[in-house]
Structure 1
Amino acid sequence: MTAAVPVISLSLPADRFAQDFGASFERFGFAMITDHGIDPALIDAAWTKARAFFALPEEAKRAYHVAGLGGARGYTPFGVEIAKGAKEVDLKEFWHVGRDLPEGHPLAAQQPNNVWPDEVPSFRTTFETLFAEFDRVGGRLLSGIARYLGLAPDFFDATVQDGNSVMRLLHYPPVEGPAKGIRAEAHEDINTITLLLGAEEAGLEILDKDGSWLPVAPPPGAMAVNVGDMLQRLTNNRLPSTTHRVRNPDAGRAGIARYSMPFFLHFRSDYPIVTLENCVDAAHPNLYPAPITADAYLQERLREIGLKK
């Protein structure tokens, strides 16, 4: 039988959820999560606001491109981001919402404040609310991972407090004719875990251990969740940051745009990523003996994917 990424309900008892979720992460680096509790009306409003923004004229959108930030906030135009090692840019444009920190906060230098478009009513309130909801659900998911790894359920709370998490609003325009590149070339995520809404539209695939590509298509309203490189590093590769891509649509869907909303949950910028002791033994020597802060790791990777020079 073909392997399939499990669909897991967040309403399960905590220990049962932790076991099922952690096992899926260890096997696939991915899971599909239902019953996450984010209000469907809020999600619908977010789709409406995202479509309205990306429908604006190019000049209007580019007014929100902030030079020098590596795409950390505001708008990143079509054809800018490129996967590490890829030859063609991804066929997408996107908007980033981050965490606003108060003036004088010790991490403010690594986390610039948001910019907001004037042209779309309630854009700010909608996405500030959704950001907070992603943050809440992400905390519950990390608690499950902590339990699976034999850690205290609140182990990750301090590691992500005021963390450099980013919500990305993604627009993949229709693909017309033979295209150079694909919507998102094969890559791994940089962050701790990613929570993704919008994967119901076909295209998201993960590279399985045997080299085959497996589709990830959550039930309507559910989210795909995956391990990022920072969590892979922390767990000494016990939880793998799996290569994934968004392939171009089949001919019948080529004229239809694709929208998605990943939430890249990050550690605090100053968090030192030190391999967990209980993920190291004689059979699994420490692959990452030199600690690195989350921000130093992020900046290194942003340069690799073309968002920073």
Structure 2
Amino acid sequence: MTPPLKNDIQVIDIEPFLSGSTDKQLLEKIDRICSETGLFLVTGHGIDENLIDEAYAVSKEFFNLDESTKARYCKPDGSFLGYRGLHTLQASTKRKTVPDKKEVYTIGADDRGSNGKKALEGQPWPAELPAFEGILTRYYRELNKLSLGLSRLFAQALGLPAEFFKRRSDRSVSYLVTFNFPAEGETIPGQVRFAQHRDRDLFTVLTTNAPGLEVKDRQGRWYPVPVQPHAFTVNIGSMFTQWTEGRWTAPLHGVRNATLEETHDNRQTLTFFFNPNAEVKLSPLSVEDGDNINIGAPSDGADAEPQSVSDFLSSAWDLYRIME
């Protein structure tokens, strides 16, 4: 990774849009960002700051439990729900032996209906922390509500009907992942906190308490993503790349290791991966049902059967390796 350039990540106040205002300049800006960097920060999102702080706090309580206790909440069936410990997950298929330096707790879609994948079912909850389930379930639902609002913004930025993605997401297979990146401790040679990767969802909404996230634009330039308390970082995922036939490209990004000045505390991230309903087909938007405009280049595989969201996510889990 080349040294990051000065910050060039935009911060957008979405409160007027969520309140019903449609600003053509905002829509053009979103389209431009998603065509270039694919990542921006949002304020004015309406999520209670106290809830964000509570979600951080209860996540930290869990990660501070001893290893044997946390291990009880690691599902043994290959599911990503529940806990995964340090040095057990690898985000990049380019590094075949070195796991990421992070631990995670994943919460599946509790309102997804009957079409959720097996890997999103049977949510474990830590009995040692009575508030954990309530706080993170409420956080999940609030982030899902915000994501539905953002889906309207993305739809209009593409020239689609405002409800295009929302009406395909009433039983979404979205999931919330709380990450813990230790500030200190043993590091395997070549290991980083989160290897370079592209998210495989429709889009991602996250908040973090410390720097480290870096993103690459289409010109190959790397940028540090700024940390702004109670703001959310939004980046598009590979599902959008497929749906728009490359007009919007999911950005390559990763989390670097801590500097000496940053080793005083762990880095935490609360990440919401938003996806439509499992059965939705990712047909190129240029040929979808006639309720949109032609937004992508003609697809060489236009006659091929489009992937469903369910199949697309299954391929993502295959890429995100569990280290033995």
Regarding TM over 0.5, the answer is yes
| 1:25 alignment partner, one of 34, 45, 61 | 34
Q: Which amino acid aligns with 1:7?
A: V
Change (3 A) 1:108 1:276: closer
Contact 2:200 2:313 in 1 (8 A): yes
Q: Could you tell me how far 1:15 is from its partner in structure 2?
A: 2.5
Q: Which amino acid aligns with 2:318?
A: R
4-13 or 285-294, which moves further after superposition? 285-294
Contact 2:279 2:308 in 1 (8 A): yes
Is 2:13 the counterpart of 1:9? yes
Q: Which residue of 1 aligns with 2:125?
A: 116
Q: Could you tell me how far 1:147 is from its partner in structure 2?
A: 0.5
Is 2:179 the counterpart of 1:166? no
Q: Which amino acid aligns with 2:244?
A: T
3-state DSSP class of the match of 1:274? coil
Report matched runs for 1:1-309 at 5 Å: 4-13=8-17, 14-16=21-23, 17-71=26-80, 73-82=81-90, 83-87=92-96, 88-101=98-111, 105-108=113-116, 110=118, 111-176=120-185, 179-180=188-189, 181-198=191-208, 200-277=209-286, 278-279=293-294, 284-286=297-299, 289=302, 290=304, 291-307=306-322
Contact 1:70 1:302 in 2 (8 A): no
Contact 2:158 2:295 in 1 (8 A): no
Q: Could you tell me how far 1:195 is from its partner in structure 2?
A: 0.1
Change (3 A) 1:127 1:6: same
Q: Which runs of 5+ in 2 are unaligned?
A: 287-292
State the Cα deviation string for residues 168-217 of structure 1 (Å, max 9, x = none). 0100112346643100010000100000011x511000012332310111
3-state DSSP class of the match of 1:128? helix
Change (3 A) 1:94 1:288: farther
- Cα RMSD after superposing both structures: 2.1
Contact 2:242 2:282 in 1 (8 A): yes
Contact 2:99 2:323 in 1 (8 A): no
Say how many residue pairs are matched.
303
CA distance in 1: counterparts of 2:186 and 2:69, whole angstroms? 27
Q: Could you tell me how far 1:20 is from its partner in structure 2?
A: 2.8
TM-score of the aligned structures, taking structure 1 as reference length: 0.91
State the Cα deviation string for residues 241-260 of structure 1 (Å, max 9, x = none). 00000000112223421100
Q: Could you tell me how far 1:280 is from its partner in structure 2?
A: 5.2
CA distance in 1: counterparts of 2:117 and 2:11, whole angstroms? 39
CA distance in 2: counterparts of 1:294 and 1:152, whole angstroms? 20
Change (3 A) 1:77 1:197: same
CA distance in 1: counterparts of 2:213 and 2:310, whole angstroms? 28
CA distance in 2: counterparts of 1:51 and 1:166, whole angstroms? 19
Q: Which runs of 5+ in 1 are unaligned?
A: none
Change (3 A) 1:288 1:46: farther
Q: Which residue of 1 aligns with 2:289?
A: none
78-87 or 228-237, which moves further after superposition? 78-87
State the Cα deviation string for residues 104-138 of structure 1 (Å, max 9, x = none). x5315543132111111311110111001100110
CA distance in 1: counterparts of 2:178 and 2:187, whole angstroms? 25
Q: Which amino acid aligns with 1:261?
A: L
Q: Could you tell me how far 1:31 is from its partner in structure 2?
A: 1.1
CA distance in 2: counterparts of 1:145 and 1:288, whole angstroms? 24
CA distance in 1: counterparts of 2:138 and 2:11, whole angstroms? 26
TM-score of the aligned structures, taking structure 2 as reference length: 0.87
Contact 1:176 1:254 in 2 (8 A): no
Contact 1:280 1:286 in 2 (8 A): no
Q: Which amino acid aligns with 2:174?
A: S
Contact 2:180 2:269 in 1 (8 A): yes
Contact 1:175 1:248 in 2 (8 A): no
Q: Which amino acid aligns with 1:81?
A: L
Q: Could you tell me how far 1:166 is from its partner in structure 2?
A: 0.6
Q: Which amino acid aligns with 1:297?
A: F
3-state DSSP class of the match of 1:298? helix
CA distance in 2: counterparts of 1:164 and 1:308, whole angstroms? 24
* Identity across matched positions, percent: 24
Q: Which residue of 1 aligns with 2:290?
A: none
